Amino acid sequence: MWLTGKNDRSQQRDHIFKEVILEVRQATPSSRLSPALRHKLERFSLQERSQLVNRVRDGCTPLFTAAKKGVVEIVRYLLEMCGANSEQRGIYEVPFDRTMHYVTPLWCAAVVGKIEVCRILVEHGADVNTVSDTGSTAVRSACYMSNIDVVQFLVGQGADVNRPNQNGGTCLINSVQSIELCQFLIDKGADINARDSQFKTALHYAVQEDRVETTKLLLSYGADHTACSKHGDDVLQTACLKGSANIAEYLIDTIDYPPHRVADALELLGATYLDENHDKTMALGYWRRAVAYREAHNIKKIITDPPKEVFLNRVPFRTFDDVNALANDMDEMRLQSLLVNERVLGPSHKDSIFRLMYRGAAYADSMQHQRCIDLWKYAVEIRLSKDTVLHNETCVALQSLTKILFDAHDKHASGVFDEPVKFRDVDFLLEKLLQCFPSAIEQLQQRPVFRKQQENWDRVLKVLIHLLHLAEVLAKMSSQKSNLLRLARKLVVLNPRMTNGNSLLHMAVGKVDSLQQPYFEDHRQQQQHIFPDPVTTRMLLQVGANVEAVNEDGSTPLHTASLRVNYREEIVRMLLDAGAHIDRTNKQGNQPYRMLGGNQECRIKVAELITLKCLAASKVKSNHRTYEGLIPKSLEEFIRIH
């Protein structure tokens, strides 16, 4: 029965839309909508049909779902008989990484390789150059999926092969896995030397993915082999870092590089085989070739830096005897690999730092914690000189080093290690943080503030409070204690605050998340229970930390310490002895004395700590009496905090 009332028609449309969704979801590529459903749809006007099929369920219209499934006849019917909007976007979920993209039906059909659906959509006005939420055109994304027939069709319909996405990636960059596709794009005018946001060209990507034939093709069409990425890598260096030996050999054979570049490339390739592939034989082979090449071309290895203690004062190999002597000592080979990386790439290159961190993690896994600490200290020092303390990789390095210091300290305390953690290692980190904090604080005061920088700053402050605790525990000599107090005093003067306004004292008296870092598995849980910590609290109060400092919620450290989850009587008494107001009110109206009074574990007689002056101030405040300008200025603030 066909209903005609207004509400009935609305319900009928809802019911029919559900039927459309159900049939489209269950459709196979050769399916059509059932005759009964088509009959129901066609009882509505074209305008009503259009409104109905342009509805969205689970982020997609029926047309979008049909395009994704490649149901050609349903796509045609929705466009021609129902006026479906060919540009209405839906949510496409990438199968492997589960990321979501907000795209048009054409984009979706192009990615999944539904060429006939693409034809119909374009015939009905779909824009071939419309971009996704990341700025990617349908043709660029089809290139990534190597859907060459779709790419050829879209280009034939006017798709722009040089339009990049928001990261600068082009069709050609996305096509290096297919030499046929690259040839087609070059023939259609693709910019062979276009760069993305990393300053990489298609040639860089062909090399790093070890696409030998694509590399040869791009070079034959004039790809710039001297172009460098943002990290300073040309294609030869990229090949060596990625272990693309065949490409590196081809580049050396066909391009007239200076002899010293070739020798350095051979050394770097050997280091990559050792670090990435754990192939000792190949590493030694390339290093011997480098020595032979230098001798044949009469070039000396230029070494400008003196030996460094972090590398056990080793010097780079020069002769066959030097290389041969490494063959039976894997640890010496690894040291030489680090020397190669630093000399060829430079100490601040991302791969030099990554390999330092990786080698340190390997030392930690083999219980050589001090070697790990030494390497990671060096990596942190490089990071801080290269980037700010707000940089994500700097934060990771700081967290990793702090974590390994605690791990080594715990193992020594439990008798696993004979050697204690050195105070100087913790002191080193505190000094470095103190040096870079002023500029970081100034940077965070600029607007707009980037959320990632704020998050990293909070992570760094968590590192800092952990380091202060560990330093206080390790400081045994009077000189160490005085130096720690000097550093702590300077930090208190700087007054670094977390995003929520918490001071160092707030952090010391409350629970602080444990440090997390990616370089080795966390087997210890004790670190989670360091805070609230009376040791760090006492030190901060000793150097003048403001016991009345308030965070964004108007809470003082005493408010934080009075929370049931943070309560430790020793800490609360420290704060009270230092002059903390027990009846100060925060923005939620909470007062420490009420919070403590409701805690059965609290043995402090809080009522006895409230002075007559405090009671009077509370009375003025609670009765909403006007007092500004009627009493001394010194009393106005006192009343205000109550």
Tell me how far CA of residue 163 lies from CA of 142, 191, 251, 526, 527, in angstroms. Answer: 13, 10, 29, 53, 51
Q: Which DSSP category does 102 fall into?
A: E
Amino acid residing at 210: D
Of 77, 5, 15, the closest CA to residue 46 belongs to 77
Tracing tokens 């967290």 back to the chain, one arrives at 399
**pLDDT-based confidence at 512, cuts 50/70/90?**
confident
Mean pLDDT of 393-415: 92
- CATH architecture of structural domain 161-257: Alpha Horseshoe (1.25)
SS3 assignment, position 101? strand
* Per-residue pLDDT at 632: 63
CATH 1.25.40.20 fits 1-157, yes or no: yes
- Residue 612 in this model has a pLDDT that exceeds 60: no
Q: Mind listing the pLDDT tens digit for each residue in 151-189? A: 999 999 999 999 999 999 999 999 999 999 999 999 999
Tell me how far CA of residue 104 lies from CA of 55, 87, 92, 131, 165, in angstroms. Answer: 15, 5, 9, 8, 15
pTM to 2 decimals? Answer: 0.85
Between 392-413 and 369-386, two packed helices, what is the crossing angle to 10 degrees?
Answer: 160
Helix (H) or strand (E) holding 199: none
Mean pLDDT of 61-87: 95
- Residue 449 in this model has a pLDDT that exceeds 50: yes
Q: Which DSSP category does 529 fall into?
A: G
* Per-residue pLDDT at 615: 57
Q: Mind listing the pLDDT tens digit for each residue in 314-358? A: 999 999 999 999 999 999 999 999 999 999 999 999 999 999 999
* Per-residue pLDDT at 7: 58
User: Where along the chain do the CATH 1.25.40.20 domains lie?
Assistant: 1-157, 161-257
**DSSP letter string, 569-631:** HHHHHHHHHTT--TT---TT---HHHHHHT-TT--S-GGGG--HHHHHHHHHHHTT---TTTS
- Residue 522 in this model has a pLDDT that exceeds 70: no
Q: Mind listing the pLDDT tens digit for each residue in 297-326? A: 999 988 888 999 999 999 999 999 999 999
Of 200, 221, 223, 214, the closest CA to residue 246 belongs to 214
**pLDDT-based confidence at 9, cuts 50/70/90?**
confident
- Residue 3 in this model has a pLDDT that exceeds 60: no
Q: What average pLDDT is seen over the chain?
A: 90
Q: What percentage of the chain reaches a pLDDT higher than 90?
A: 76
* Per-residue pLDDT at 490: 96
Residues 514/462, Cβ–Cβ less than 8 Å: no
- Rounded Cα gap, residues 521 and 523, in angstroms: 6
- Rounded Cα gap, residues 543 and 530, in angstroms: 21
Q: Which DSSP category does 90 fall into?
A: E
Q: What percentage of the chain reaches a pLDDT higher than 70?
A: 90
Q: Mind listing the pLDDT tens digit for each residue in 109-126? A: 999 999 999 999 999 999
Q: Mind listing the pLDDT tens digit for each residue in 460-494? A: 999 999 999 999 999 999 999 999 999 999 999 99
- Rounded Cα gap, residues 339 and 357, in angstroms: 14
- Rounded Cα gap, residues 36 and 491, in angstroms: 77
Mean pLDDT of 274-280: 94
* Per-residue pLDDT at 519: 43
**pLDDT-based confidence at 518, cuts 50/70/90?**
very low
* Per-residue pLDDT at 620: 57
Instruction: Spell out the alpha helix ranges (H) of 475-556.
Output: 478-494, 504-509, 534-542
- Contacts of residue 328, defined as CB under 8 A and 6 or more positions apart, other chains included, come to none
**pLDDT-based confidence at 450, cuts 50/70/90?**
confident
* Per-residue pLDDT at 422: 95
Helix (H) or strand (E) holding 144: helix 138-144
Q: Mind listing the pLDDT tens digit for each residue in 182-236? A: 999 999 999 999 999 999 999 999 999 999 999 999 999 999 999 999 999 999 9
* Per-residue pLDDT at 530: 87
- Rounded Cα gap, residues 459 and 530, in angstroms: 16
Token digits of residue 373: 């600490």
**pLDDT-based confidence at 416, cuts 50/70/90?**
confident
* Per-residue pLDDT at 526: 44
Q: For residues 586-622, b (16+ Cβ closer than 10 Å) or e, as one string?
A: beeebbbbebbeebeebebebeebeeeebeebbebee
What are the two backbone dihedrals, phi and then psi, of residue 95, each rounded to the nearest 5 degrees?
-60, -35
**pLDDT-based confidence at 641, cuts 50/70/90?**
low
**pLDDT-based confidence at 524, cuts 50/70/90?**
very low
- Residue 614 in this model has a pLDDT that exceeds 70: no
Residues 127/105, Cβ–Cβ less than 8 Å: no
**DSSP letter string, 415-482:** TS-SSPPPHHHHHHHHHHHHHHHHHHHHHHTSSSPPHHHHHHHHHHHHHHHHHHHHHHHH--SHHHHH
- Residue 610 in this model has a pLDDT that exceeds 80: no
**DSSP letter string, 283-347:** HHHHHHHHHHHHHHTT-PPP--SPP-GGGTT-----SHHHHHHHTT-HHHHHHHHHHHHHHHH-T
Residues 560/509, Cβ–Cβ less than 8 Å: yes
- Rounded Cα gap, residues 154 and 424, in angstroms: 64
Of 181, 169, 88, 158, the closest CA to residue 134 belongs to 169
